[in-house]
Amino acid sequence: MKAEKIVLRKMSMTLKAPFQTSFGTQTVRDFYLVEVHTKDFIGYGEGVVSGEPLYSEETVGTAWHILEDFLIPMIMEKGEISHPDEVGELFAPIRRNNMAKSSIEGAYWDLYAKQQGISLAKALGGTKEKIEVGISLGIEADINDLFRNVEKYLEQGYRRMKIKIAPGKDVQVIRALRERFGNIPMMADANSAYTLKDVDILKQLDEFDLMMIEQPLAHDDIIDHATLQKQLKTPICLDESIHSYEDARKAIELGSTRIINMKVGRVGGLSEARRIHDLCQEKGVPLWCGGMLESGIGRAHNVAITTLPNFVLPGDTAGSSRYWQEDIISPEVEVAADGTITVPQAPGIGYTPVPELIEKYTTAVKVVTRG
């Protein structure tokens, strides 16, 4: 695979409804797309960053700079790439900037699968023909709005409800949901809103038989999470703390996490995600695929990685209509009434990017050609 042209597109898509977490509210997704053009195919990747550095340190601006000034020149200089694993190896000297790395590596995985004439899922070693999915629900000012959302998505078949919590909107919210909906599969995501001083509040969540509590403590911690896990019955699931295979290895060894939310962009790409998958499978740590409110391009990559065998819990890969009036792929990602997504078998990501819709939501373009 030799890139003849790489196109970066800044994208801005308005969410159907605001999405509130413990660290802020999103109404518009500012992200970017990467297109890697070889003489035969186009590979697509998504930069799952946001406009503001609130989930991680990366933004559209930081990623654009790292891609334009470092990663794309490295790719052009390298020339021929025979397997997408080589992209991560090439980028290894660049510190962090995982979402920037992941966006271009994901495009090479798409290219590679298209070149082999197989689905991205198969190229990754996935075997599932369907994946089970859940849904992530933002914080609502009025709990009746949250009730309505849970009701709506249960009816649509989603396999588990992820409820955002924050101090003051935690125990009473989960209790009210249990009283209203009984023992439905449910988890809480705190997005680092608590500290060890809040252990008594977090211990109260133990009474609600939650599947897990996601990232209760600091975004860059695995020590305090190990201390907390010893005091909780409910499994801790790390998200923001896990940026690499090494982070996962240490967190598992310390007992900081019993489940991991895999986000391809956060760990630097699909190759690293596969390595973490194999480690977790060996250690008996279940995985599920998290989301970053992706467009259909990133959503397609998430569907593919979820076909690996140790993705045993429903993830956050909802259908396109969860967030978008119209998605930029055809067909859109659909969730069946049984809460599953049928894995596309077409070569590559399996969904077709729609040029006129991509253009419609493009706010800036950068084209780098070989030569």
Ligand X SMILES: O=C(O)CCC(=O)C1=CC=C[C@@H](O)[C@@H]1C(=O)O
Q: Where do contacts with ligand X occur on this chain (CB under 6 A)?
A: 21, 55, 136, 189, 191, 239, 290-293, 316, 318
150 binds, among ligand X, Mg ion, none (CB under 5 to 8 A by kind): none
316 binds, among Mg ion, ligand X, none (CB under 5 to 8 A by kind): ligand X
239 is in an annotated binding site: yes
206 is in an annotated binding site: no
- Strand, helix or coil for residue 4: coil
Do residues 198 and 167 touch, judged by C-beta distance below 8 A?
yes
Known catalytic membership, residue 5: no
Smallest distance from ligand X to CB 166, Å = 11
Q: Which is nearer to Mg ion, 37 or 162 (CB)?
A: 162
d(CA 177, CA 143): 9
d(CA 15, CA 320): 11
Smallest distance from ligand X to CB 292, Å = 5
- Please pick, among 10, 114, 169, 263, the residue that the annotation labels catalytic: 263
252 binds, among ligand X, Mg ion, none (CB under 5 to 8 A by kind): none
d(CA 313, CA 23): 25
The distance from CA 358 to its chain's CA centroid, rounded to whole angstroms, is: 20
Strand-by-strand arrangement of the 259-262 sheet: 135-137, 161-164, 186-189, 213-214, 236-238, 259-262, 287-289
Known catalytic membership, residue 128: no
46 binds, among Mg ion, ligand X, none (CB under 5 to 8 A by kind): none
Smallest distance from ligand X to CB 49, Å = 11
- Please pick, among 10, 101, 162, 164, the residue that the annotation labels catalytic: 164
Q: Which is nearer to ligand X, 72 or 293 (CB)?
A: 293
Q: Which helix (H) or strand (E) holds 5?
A: strand 5-21
The distance from CA 52 to its chain's CA centroid, rounded to whole angstroms, is: 17
Q: Which is nearer to ligand X, 87 or 237 (CB)?
A: 237
The residues pairing with 137 across neighbouring beta strands, listed in sequence order, are 163
Is residue 346 exposed (0-12), middle (13-18) or buried (19+ Cβ within 10 Å)?
A: middle
Q: Which is nearer to Mg ion, 67 or 165 (CB)?
A: 165
Would you tell me how many other CB atoms lie within 10 Å of the CB of residue 180? 13
Pick from 30, 105, 189, 316: which binds Mg ion (CB under 5 A)? 189
189 is in an annotated binding site: yes
Name the residue whose CB lies closest to ligand X.
291
Q: Which residue in 36, 100, 39 sits closest to 67, CA to CA?
A: 100
8-state DSSP, 193:
-
Q: Which residues fall within 8 angstroms of residue 69, CB to CB, at 6 or more apart?
A: none
The interface with Mg ion within residues 228-287 (CB under 5 A) comprises 239
293 binds, among ligand X, Mg ion, none (CB under 5 to 8 A by kind): ligand X
Smallest distance from ligand X to CB 137, Å = 8
Name the residue whose CB lies closest to Mg ion.
239
Q: List residues with catalytic annotation.
A: 164, 263
Per CB under 5 A, residues contacting Mg ion are 189, 214, 239
